[in-house]
Amino acid sequence: MQTALSKTPILKTIALTLPKNQQRVARTAYVDIRSISGWLPIRNNLVYGPTNKDASRHIHEKVHVSAISVKEQPPPEGVAPVEWVLLTNLTATDAFEAEEKVNWYRLRWKIEEFFKTLKSGCCVEQCRLNTATKLTKMITLKSIIAFKLMYMTKMAALSPEATCTDVLSKIEWQTLYCRIQTTSRLPEHPPQCFRQ
């Protein structure tokens, strides 16, 4: 697959901002994006019979995939290059579609953080509703709350003196205040900053 990808024309060159982590300093990497699509054979090990010795009983299938190559050209001296191969069942036949999938991949940790907030912070898995419609409405509401929590956390880190009114409407911050303070008396003024 990598040989086939390396022979395809470059769809686009983009700049990736790589944040600082334990292994590297923050930097910008210029990467080439290439893409191919086709049928990938898969072997399903589901066996119809008492033993799995008969290979003819295995189900052989194919799945349509797009393979996207993201490769830094050239990396700075002494630095490992950015080199990813992404597989997706979504189309990535042109520059726009391929770059879209690359950007989704770059957001994977934020997506993980969102679902962690949804599960742990909003306790979405504890919902015990008896219809799909009710469950969908609850998950939608809790998704909005999870997003707001993540946004407030980011705002508090970037701008500690920002107020909750930068993120929440009046009814939202008043409701939250009453819930946290266990009171039914609505405050007239918002807390001075997020930390309050």
User: pLDDT of 91-126, one tens digit each?
Assistant: 999 999 999 999 999 999 899 999 999 999 899 988
Mean pLDDT for 170-192 is 86
Residue 5 has pLDDT above 60, yes or no: yes
- Contact in structure between 42 and 1 (CB atoms under 8 Å): no
Which residue type does 135 have?
L
Any residues with CB less than 8 A from the CB of 4 and at least 6 apart, and which? 36, 67
pLDDT of residue 54: 55
Residue 142 has pLDDT above 90, yes or no: yes
Structure tokens at 144: 């909005």
Residue 143 or residue 52, greater confidence: 143
Distance CA 139, CA 126 (A): 11
Residue 87 has pLDDT above 60, yes or no: yes
- Contact in structure between 30 and 72 (CB atoms under 8 Å): yes
Cβ atoms < 10 Å from Cβ of 175:
13
pTM above 0.75, yes or no: no
Which overall architecture, per CATH, does domain 2-106 show? Alpha-Beta Complex (3.90)
Q: For the chain, what are the domain ranges? A: 2-106, 107-144, 159-196
Q: What average pLDDT is seen over the chain?
A: 86
Q: Identify any residues that bridge with 123 across adjacent strands, giving them in sequence order.
A: none
Cβ atoms < 10 Å from Cβ of 127:
12
